[in-house]
Structure 1
Amino acid sequence: MIAAFLSAAGFAQQPQSPLVSSFQEHLRHQEQSIYGLNWISLGPVGNSALVEAFQVDMQHPGTIYLGFGSGSLWKTTNNGLSWKPIFDEEASYSVGDFALAPSNTNIIYFGTGETLKKPRNFTMPGTGMYRSDDGGETWRHLGLDDSWHIAKVVVHPTNPDIVYVAVLGHLWTTNPHRGIYRSLNGGKDWEHVLYVNDQTGANDIVMAPSDPNTLYASVWESYPTVNGKNSGVFKSVDGGKTWKRQDSGIPVGEGRGRIGLAVSHQNPDKVYALMDHRNKDGMDAEEVGAAEVYLSLDGAKSWKRTHTDELMINSVIGWYFADIVVDAHDDDEIYALGVRLVHSKDGGKTFEIVAGDVYHLFPNPADPLHLDQCEIWINPTNSSHIALANDGGFYVSYDKGQSWMHYNNIPTGEFYDITLDKGTPYKIYGGTQDNATVFGPSREWNPKRHDGWQYLWIDPWSGGDGCITVIDPVDSMTIYYSAQEGAIRRMDLKTGNSKPVRPNSEKMGVELNYHFISPYFLSEFDNRELYLGGNYVVKSENRGDDWKVISPDLTKNGNSNKTSLAVSALVESPLEKGMMYAGTDRGLLWSTPDGGKTWTDRSEGLPDAYVRSITPSKYQSSRVYLALSGINYDDFNTYLFKSEDGGKTWESLKGNLPGEVAYVIKEDPVFENVLYAGLYRAVYISTDRGKTWSKLGQGFPPAAVSDIEVEPRSHDLVVSTHGRGIYKVNLKPLYEVLDKKSINEEMLLALGNVTVLPAERFDKLHNFDLEKMTISFWLPKAKTVSINILDEKKVLQWSKKIDGRKGLNQYRWDLILRENKSPLPYFLNQREFLPKGKYTLQLVGDKTLEKEFEAID
């Protein structure tokens, strides 16, 4: 059977991703915004994040590329000591796979759209294929717009214009643009050379190193579930022009899941397949081991399982993995990737788990090698040198996994939620994708220093998903933090001991279903009352020790389109005790005015989308805001709503926002009409309660904004992202502008404390401990201005010309007055910092504005 479908210039016929038009809107907002506050990265980096794909550049030693699933593509040229993002200016930022051309490693083919199918609102789609000819400095789009999720990219070993792409396609809906695509002219045109159906995409493609015309590809029936009878293996012997299904001997039926492939470097007919077998003799995959390795010695005409013992490296999430590689020098030596990494030296007959000692670039208490393996590389010139990517980041070993260096120095944390405590200074708590719940300081991240963040552990394997953290409003030493599906723990920070307080379904006489991220809260009115949302809302009156059901089943209301799994958002009004709202994953919205005694359906007028954020107003008890996400259903529309009557009627707040997914909406604690919305790429602000919106700040990376909190004393706006860590911006300059109502002239705005190094500090050549001085000013029109610092005698100490934009501007000065040089071997004062004292800040534009300040140590 030959499955081939050819279409020259194929990408021109594909519909454009909606992310492209929303990106153009995003750029317009970026250009037009008058709110030019500077976002400050807080990291953290200690716990790292999921790496979907990576490449080691053998032609340029020390150059490595890391693709974080939701955190863009990063590059190092100094063997991992420092990294920079190189794909932040494009329409998508998610990573599927990418490849360096072996004949010229400055050529990169990049496939967007991550492939780990997770229904958590954060499996980010892409906008097709891109190419760089200069090592990632510049990019051009190559089409395949409707691919959305690209699983594998392979480039010919000698001709960099021949490239193959395995397209997984849409994750949550059908689409015809799936399968294998080939370009013979560097991506100018594409041929759709392998297509099965609109539910089955291509997961992997490998080229025989000894014969580039021999290719093997796996297809995966990934919709509507994660397995199906159409999954399987295909082969081409004519450079990908035609394909034939060749998977005899691999188990047939609906249990066929994701398949990874590896081919011998010496023998093009020797090929391995690692399959996620979802239904083995009717048994649960986790009980009998879903992972199976098959070997063909006749070019895929026949296959045979290599091992008699069950391979227990997969679990109920086995479709996340299925990658397998073979050593370049010994084709009996293979590595298979699942929850754990395993190694075989006898062609897959026996396997041993690879663990090893883990050392971290920055301090980290995690001891074992992180779970959930995504990709592995074996140095073709030295088989002892391997690199590994998993949910915990990037690891390198020079002794085949006996020891590892963990490169935990990139701020790409995938956060679900954040909480701020009431300490001085305040700390931030956040739950991350498979990297636990962490907490740390609100200070700027310095890439040369330990970030100071710590773990609240979730599991003993260096990770586990941290979800939501709650701090007791009365006893700040008591906190609650959770893993997936309602697994809440109560912790005493004084002792460090924690206790599981997840409800027991049997005791309550109901079957409880939960979302992966299950909402819960502690009442601000009674710190002993804990509420948790599943398919029912349950309540504890003794901090989680005992529970009772306080709602009917909230997953259905008679409308089959809105039938849901469980409650996805649950909150209480800050103004009225017992006034609560519960939202579900299909747009059901319920309210109760009396602590759960009666519930009313308030979902009329809302889309069938995932209710991700509910914000009852701090100003009016009948006012409530909603953010809903459709990304789990391949719906990228912007769903923000407001109700002034407790949910009886809803008004869309999309306004002039870009057409992209919204995750969170929050009120400002000082100005009633000011709202903040977190979208797919940025934070937006409205000063008229949602009628119009502007992009807030500059320097924010392209990333999904998962949560927003305002710290009431410092007026810091703190934002978590799913893929680029945590950022903050201080709102005091904004508040000063809002107080003025309208500003038609240049204005210098408030300065915070300016702290300098004490004169007696010996290590003044370093500025690790200094916080930058933030200078804020308003311009009624764009112009070039000068900022001057004068001492008490009005002598100029420092000056800087700035191209100011219309509106609110900021410049963050590092307090370095000048750099000094000397040929002396023990010369000390290389950098001269601003000393303590009294100064005048000048803004020189059409006129000169001055503000006095004091620098203290």
Structure 2
Amino acid sequence: MSTSRLRRALGALLALGLTGGAVPAASAGAAGTAGSSDSQWTDSSGLPTDAHGHHPDGVTVPPTAGEATAAVTSTAAAWSLLGPPGGDIYDTAVSTVDPKIVLAGYAPGGSLNGGLYRSGDGGTTWSEVPALHGRSVFAIEFAAGGTAYAGTQDSVWRSNDGGLTWVASNLNIGLNDQVLSIAVDPVNPSVLWAGIGNALGSQKVNVMRSADGGTTWTNRTPPMGAAQSGRAVAIDPNDPNTVIVAFDAGQVWVTRDSGVSWTNRSAGLPASPLFDIGYDGTRLLVGGGQLFNNQYLGLYQSTDLGVTWTPLHNSSWPIPVVHGIAVDPHDPDTILVTTAGTGVHRTTDGGATWEIGVGGTSALSGRSIHFVPGNSREVFLGSDTRAVFRSTDGGASFVQSSNGIAEIDLRSVHVNPRDPDEIAIAFQGQNTGGVYSTVDGGANWKLEPVPPTRYGAVRFAPDGTLYALSTGPSTVAQEGLYRRGGDGSWSVLGPDQGSYYESDLTTILFSRTNPDLILLTGADFGYAGNEATIWRTLDRGQTWAKVYEGPSGQAALDIEIVENGADEEMIATINDRSGAYASSVLRSEDGGTSWFTSMIGLSGRYMNPYLCVSSHDPYVVYLAAWLTFSSTGVYRSLDGGVTWESTGWTSNGGVADLACDPADGRTVYMSLSADPRVVRSVDAGTTFAPFESGIEGVRQPRTLAFAGASRLLLATAKGSYATNLDRDVITVGASVRRNRGQLVVDLTWQGATSADVDIYRDGTLVGTVPNGGAHTDPIGVHGRGTVTYQVCRADSSTCSAKTTVAYGGPPA
């Protein structure tokens, strides 16, 4: 990334760092007073988090280290998108001249590296607009003549052809030119207004006006003192000199002379973030608030341009947090609002009464909502994680309309070991998420009826039962492990440490031999502390014991069982989150009751260590970890984690997951934060080659999973991907002859690509030999009989068909 682009990216992160006045994130382990409004920690994803697990609006982690792409040559993998559709859609807009043209702005978590999607069939299908790829789009407006404007992380962009092509405007305010809101003058479409992000106070220009369609801009920022992000702009339809702007610190400012002078009309409103405005020339509506630290606001109205305010929300609202407002173009008493996690609320009597979570939206977190211009029936809703929803009956019902939007932020993927076509994925947004499943290999996806919290992991038990880890917020549902029952319903298993968000869990592990044994890794959180933890249940989740609690500032990241049938030997990795790269490996020899460090042969500096165990030898364990912020190294143990040795291989980018091939004991796959996004080793981790054709540059690769032995899956921040694994097809021939009185069998084979092959005689390994295509086996027997051979890739279950030859008589 160039210096200018890096500075722009950092500036954008600052501009979007909305915390609504909360204190900066506390250091690891710091705690506030229980129940205080400014308590704040940092969770396993690196985000500021309050005591209940809420993330603030607009705050996300920066792009993963090494995100810049490089030219590589990939091996045989051919990855394809698997789904499901989704993404964080911050705004939608329908063309004023062609209702079939719809635009949807994508901003992952309200931050960088988003883009724009376009539909030419009324929202049925979508495709990404290349011109805005990598630029988050926060606001979209169509002028009366069909010209489209987009507020992005990098200025205002204009399209004259319905969103197909775009050109950028130059705001001339420096690198921090993130545009969070746009309004077009309804009388003169050449007049535009834009709200600008404040870059954590470093950008003092927060409101701008253009009189020539965006060619030139002038500063029209109110005299607020401290810089504030302009989150919403509204223009009086009867007097375009009257403009209202709402800011993220809860202020509303009004001008009657196109920004020459301003009046603060914030008195009577809570000092919580504002996100949207609606104004029809008589009634002014503002909505806002955020879950983080209970900074509630809801929906307010004013009939005197903000001199006085009256709340329109009431006690029927579960949570008074509003992100978007839409007023029926033909009935001002019908108002729709999008909320944080409780769906769309609707009133048809001007706010006297409300319908809550209408049209099946009760679990949605909406970001924007708009009626199609001039149409009281058609409504578009932009949502966190699940992209676009559409209503054709004025909001009475909504259906997802996201086909083609491949931006859902997946954290985990797993496959039923009893059915390779049954797949589950865990996804999350800022304060919402869920679990999808498919039983046809990804052709069709079903949203599981789990509580709408963030989910960090999914995993099928050996018996096919599906489990998922919820990572809050605890105000929605208890964090911890959830299990799907036989009737499709879900129940929480724990562990439960209290009413706050107190268990930040990351990994689920089942025993292959004992269905009652389940292990979880992670860390305590918030008021429970900040120590690495390993939890164990011996009764399928009825009761839990914290069998390990480590130092503060660390988290248990990964865990494996040495599957020798005893469930006694276990290995876990501890990730140091302080930045000191002081991670470690633990072992247990008593079924997880006690743990001790096992670091012989390991470097003293690494972080984010991941494990996998060879499918052919439970004592062969691989470990990959970040050696620096942009490089990964690989270690190998031949004794179940007692001692370790470096394989000598290092990479660009940090490891995101490690997976051992279920059919080949010497093949290992790794996902990385930089290109190549996936690499493969066929020599037990000594070397790795790119394995990423089709996913070059994909954002944030995460977990890997095998669908049987023939398909590999990858979860990313742009959905799930799959590739078929081409296995060797080995053919073998055998003939018997005598050599100096002894019987020998001459074997020949083709199709094996490994360096060595294993020779099996009557089911017993008789030797591992170089893959030269021929081998002579002295069987040293007398009389008559038969002998059966197989040739396999070394340390693999990829084998030829069995070939039987007879000796001492006619050929078999």
Give yes or no for TM over 0.5.
yes
Deviations 1:66-99 (A, max 9, x none): 2344474322212233322224x65616442333
- How far 1:593 sits from its partner (Å)? 1.0
1:500–1:211 distance in 2 versus 1, CA, 3 Å: same
- How far 1:718 sits from its partner (Å)? 0.9
Aligned counterpart, 2:541 = 544
Aligned counterpart, 2:517 = 529
C-alpha distance in 2 between matches for 1:628 and 1:202 = 41
SS in 2 for 1:17: helix
Q: Aligned runs of 1:58-457 on 2, under 5 Å? A: 58-70=96-108, 72-87=115-130, 92=134, 94-105=136-147, 107-112=148-153, 129-142=156-169, 146-147=175-176, 150-157=179-186, 162-168=191-197, 175-176=202-203, 179-183=206-210, 193-194=220-221, 200-220=228-248, 230-240=249-259, 243-251=262-270, 256-267=271-282, 270-276=283-289, 285=294, 290-300=296-306, 302-307=307-312, 309-310=314-315, 312-314=317-319, 318=321, 321-331=322-332, 333-338=334-339, 339-345=342-348, 347-348=350-351, 350-353=352-355, 355-356=357-358, 370-391=363-384, 392-407=386-401, 409-410=403-404, 412=406, 413-433=408-428, 434=432, 436-441=434-439, 443=441, 451-457=443-449
Instruction: Determine which of 725, 732, 751 is the counterpart of 1:731.
Output: 725
Equivalent position amino acid for 2:125 in 1:
S
- How far 1:65 sits from its partner (Å)? 1.8
| TM-score, length basis structure 1 | 0.63
- How far 1:394 sits from its partner (Å)? 2.9
Q: Aligned runs of 1:477-496 on 2, under 5 Å? A: 478-485=465-472, 486-493=479-486, 495-496=487-488
- How far 1:34 sits from its partner (Å)? 4.0
Deviations 1:419-448 (A, max 9, x none): 1122354421111234632222464x6xxx
C-alpha distance in 1 between matches for 2:535 and 2:673 = 30
Instruction: Please tell me whether the aligned partners of residues 49 and 393 of structure 1 are also in contact (alpha carbons under 8 angstroms).
Output: yes
C-alpha distance in 2 between matches for 1:621 and 1:596 = 23
Instruction: Please tell me whether the aligned partners of residues 179 and 195 of structure 2 are also in contact (alpha carbons under 8 angstroms).
Output: yes
Equivalent position amino acid for 2:252 in 1:
V
C-alpha distance in 1 between matches for 2:688 and 2:175 = 31
1:231–1:491 distance in 2 versus 1, CA, 3 Å: closer
Equivalent position amino acid for 1:262 in 2:
I
Aligned counterpart, 2:692 = 696
Identity of paired residues, percent? 16
1:309–1:403 distance in 2 versus 1, CA, 3 Å: closer
| TM-score, length basis structure 2 | 0.66
C-alpha distance in 2 between matches for 1:291 and 1:42 = 39
- How far 1:135 sits from its partner (Å)? 3.1
C-alpha distance in 2 between matches for 1:597 and 1:241 = 70
Instruction: Please tell me whether the aligned partners of residues 678 and 707 of structure 1 are also in contact (alpha carbons under 8 angstroms).
Output: no
Q: What stretches of structure 2 of length at least 5 have no aligned partner?
A: 13-61, 109-113, 473-478, 525-532, 731-750, 756-812
- How far 1:337 sits from its partner (Å)? 2.5
- How far 1:665 sits from its partner (Å)? 4.8
C-alpha distance in 2 between matches for 1:653 and 1:243 = 62
Instruction: Please tell me whether the aligned partners of residues 258 and 322 of structure 1 are also in contact (alpha carbons under 8 angstroms).
Output: no
Aligned counterpart, 1:33 = 73
C-alpha distance in 2 between matches for 1:52 and 1:216 = 21
Instruction: Please tell me whether the aligned partners of residues 573 and 616 of structure 1 are also in contact (alpha carbons under 8 angstroms).
Output: no
Instruction: Please tell me whether the aligned partners of residues 656 and 672 of structure 2 are also in contact (alpha carbons under 8 angstroms).
Output: yes
1:439–1:177 distance in 2 versus 1, CA, 3 Å: farther
Instruction: Please tell me whether the aligned partners of residues 158 and 167 of structure 2 are also in contact (alpha carbons under 8 angstroms).
Output: yes
Deviations 1:374-403 (A, max 9, x none): 211124423343332334443333433223
Equivalent position amino acid for 1:96 in 2:
F
C-alpha distance in 1 between matches for 2:480 and 2:690 = 38
Give the root-mean-square deviation of aligned CA atoms: 4.7
Deviations 1:291-317 (A, max 9, x none): 4333333333x23223484462426xx
1:383–1:406 distance in 2 versus 1, CA, 3 Å: same
- How far 1:666 sits from its partner (Å)? 4.3
Q: How many residues align?
A: 633
Q: What stretches of structure 1 of length at least 5 have no aligned partner?
A: 1-10, 113-126, 221-229, 358-366, 446-450, 557-562, 630-636, 743-857
Q: Aligned runs of 1:772-791 on 2, under 5 Å? A: none
C-alpha distance in 2 between matches for 1:649 and 1:236 = 69
Instruction: Please tell me whether the aligned partners of residues 468 and 483 of structure 2 are also in contact (alpha carbons under 8 angstroms).
Output: yes
